[in-house]
Chain A
Amino acid sequence: MNSHDLTVFGYLLFLLAGVVLELLARRTRLRIPSLAAVLARAMRTRTGRVGVLVAWAWLGLHFFAG
């Protein structure tokens, strides 16, 4: 496994971990909040709300806006 494959494997691992956490939150009785609940909690305040929305905006700017 070269460094390219290792890097990509890392990204896939984090993606898989996110999917597993979401499934554990929604399908089991474990006390893990869903991603939507975490976001809703973070967005209860104006600072949190704007911060999350700016993170979303940054993604669009990063990939499309020069």
Chain B
Amino acid sequence: MDGSSPPRWIVALGSTATAGVREPIVVILLLIAVFTAISGRPVNGLLLAAVAVCLAWDNARSRRRVVIPAPDAAAGLTTAQPREPLIAARRRRPATAAVAAAGLVFAAVVGSFARYSWPATVSVIGLAAVVVAIGWRGPPRSRRDPGELRRRGTSLWAGLLVAAGLWELSALILQPGLDTTSSAHPTISALTDPLLTSHAGRSVALAVWIAAGWFLMRR
């Protein structure tokens, strides 16, 4: 063992931090984690921070592992490969129906719990963790690569997302406090609060959230 070289864990920590700083998504996740934690949701902030650190660690590990850099790896990216070959559509239909039914049952049951209660918290965090873990392994099936998109068209979507985010952020900042809603400057959360007071409202919102997760998982 070379006495002058730093311990392996320090090297791993350094490479993880470097890989994290280089990856905008990791930085964005860490920022969201901080704001989530200081706005009164420390557990949610901690979970987001944990995912950000895992992504940074994974990027650092990929960089160390690469001998001949692939185009994506050279750009600091890890290409997600499909886990399985294309599954026959006939086999997918019952699975899709089962997932849809399970999603509806989940929405109906979890929607009956009060918001921010421990059963609702455990259920939602559990489902979110499963979906992110599945997504970590890659897409569940082969799908068509959209290829390079037109920068101008993509920037329209990016601009819209950033502008909407800034609009929401300005409403949040204009509130009396980060966790005190304002009628004059309502955030989306404040506007949706009345809809989520009833069992039906919560179940519909959960069903939409699950459907969005299913849609994203299949991208």
Contact = CB atoms under 8 A, between A and B. Distances in A.
Contacts, number: 182
B28 A51 contact: yes
Interface in A37-66: 37-41, 43-54, 56-66
A48 B171 contact: no
Interface residues of B, number: 75
A35 B37 CA distance: 30
A54 B45 CA distance: 12
Interface string B142-163: 0101111110111011001001
Residue among A35, A52, A57 having the largest count of chain B Cβ atoms under 10 Å: A57
Contact of B156 (A21, A37, A39, A61): A21
Contact of B48 (A25, A54, A66): A54
B189 A41 contact: no
B160 A47 contact: no
Interface of A, helix, strand, loop or mixed by DSSP: helix
B149 A41 contact: yes
Given A44-B145, A65-B121, A54 B132 contact: yes
A23 interface: no
Contact of B192 (A18, A25, A61, A63): A63
Contact of B163 (A14, A25, A50): A14
B121 A47 contact: no
Nearest to A54: B51
Interface size band for A: 35 or more
Contact of A66 (B25, B121, B146): B121
A52 B136 CA distance: 11
B79 A53 contact: no
A30 B157 CA distance: 14
A57 B129 CA distance: 8
26 contacts: A4-B185, A11-B188, A17-B160, A18-B160, A30-B153, A31-B153, A32-B156, A33-B146, A33-B149, A33-B153, A45-B78, A47-B23, A47-B26, A51-B25, A52-B216, A53-B131, A57-B131, A58-B48, A62-B44, A63-B115, A64-B115, A64-B121, A65-B41, A65-B121, A66-B43, A66-B116
Interface of B: 23, 25-26, 28-29, 32, 36, 41, 43-44, 47-48, 51, 55, 58-59, 72, 77-80, 110, 115-118, 120-121, 124-125, 127-129, 131-132, 135-136, 138-139, 143, 145-150, 152-154, 156-157, 160, 163-164, 167-168, 171, 183-186, 188-189, 191-192, 196, 202, 205-206, 209, 212-213, 216-217, 219
